[in-house]
Amino acid sequence: MTTKHRLLLITMILGCQVSVIAQSIQNLTVNLSDDQSLMTVNYDLLAESDDSETYDVTLYYVTDEGEELLAKSITGDIGTDMKVGTGYKVEWALKQDLERYQGNLSMKVKAVQTYSPVKLKVINNFKSSYKRKKPKSIELIWARGGWKPTDEIFVDLYKKDGTLITKDIASAKQSAGKITVLTPRQKGKYHFALRDSKGFISKSTPDFKVKKGGGFFKTVLVGAALAGGYVVLTGLQSSTEDEPNVVESGSQDLPAPPNF
């Protein structure tokens, strides 16, 4: 006994299920072979925020009764961790899944986001310059995306020219949403960058400068008996990159006070 498949109407339903960040499936087309044994689905998977996003893409068919069933006998551009792209093609051997079904079919393509790169959103307590002897805390806050909450987010320190100075200076779970780092103690021009568990480096902080503290003068009093009074000598204290050195006036031979 042969089974007759009466597909009276093929319609398209665009169903996009996303996690946090919106995306779109566009240019969806469906074609059925003359013997109604093979259906070809073409689509473009476009991201809203970043082309490095990935998605789990599945194909469903909806019966006249409203029952939504997964198309299993499929090949082509579909499955887990699909990258953003255009011209995707899926072939469905529908007779292997439909068995004795007779009626109309609607097709539904679902895309669930599985990865979205970390995005630096807010920088608190940020300044264009800092003193090397007084490291300051900078709070980095990122926008949550479609990656796993348990994924690690790392912070790396770079020179202004892009040279990596220190890797993994701090880390936190993605679900924390923020992390605090200290400015470096060496003078120079730097920026911080966030990096996720897949190695994606987000937009970094603006460049900032670490400079040594300015020099200052300190008065040093040296007393010497002279005619019943004192001679006041001053010495210079200068600030260096290490501990400050105090330079005092050298000893002097003063004339003996006169006898009266």
Query: Is the whole-model pTM more than 0.75?
Result: no
Do both 100 and 14 map to the same domain?
yes
Report whether 71 contacts 57 (CB < 8 A): no
Closest CA to 142 of 122, 116, 169: 122
> Token match 């120079």: residue?
188
How far apart are alpha carbons 233 and 241 in whole angstroms?
A: 27
Dig out the tokens for 60 from the structure. Answer: 């469903």
Do both 197 and 250 map to the same domain?
no
Domain count, the chain: 3
pLDDT at 7: 43
Tens digits of residue pLDDT in 90-122: 999 988 888 777 788 888 888 888 888 888 889
Asked whether residue 85 is domain-assigned, the answer is: yes
Asked whether residue 2 is domain-assigned, the answer is: no
Tens digits of residue pLDDT in 188-201: 999 999 998 888 88
Supply the range of the domain harboring residue 248: 214-260
Tens digits of residue pLDDT in 167-185: 999 999 888 889 999 999 9
Closest CA to 231 of 241, 220, 240, 246: 220
pLDDT at 145: 61
Do both 246 and 207 map to the same domain?
no
Instruction: Kindly indicate the confidence band of residue 253, based on its pLDDT and cuts at 50, 70 and 90.
Output: very low
Question: Is residue 19 over pLDDT 80?
Answer: no
Which of 1-10, 49-58, 91-100, 186-195 is predicted with the least confidence, judged by mean pLDDT? 1-10
Do both 107 and 127 map to the same domain?
no
Do both 170 and 195 map to the same domain?
yes
Do both 126 and 200 map to the same domain?
yes
Asked whether residue 5 is domain-assigned, the answer is: no
How far apart are alpha carbons 31 and 47 in whole angstroms?
A: 25
Question: Is residue 259 over pLDDT 70?
Answer: no
Asked whether residue 157 is domain-assigned, the answer is: yes
Element (H, E) at 115: strand 105-115
243 half-sphere exposure, CB direction, 13 A CA radius: 1
Do both 172 and 232 map to the same domain?
no
The CATH number of whichever domain residue 130 belongs to comes to 2.60.40.1930
Do both 158 and 183 map to the same domain?
yes
Tens digits of residue pLDDT in 153-169: 999 999 999 999 999 99
Do both 20 and 36 map to the same domain?
yes
Asked whether residue 218 is domain-assigned, the answer is: yes
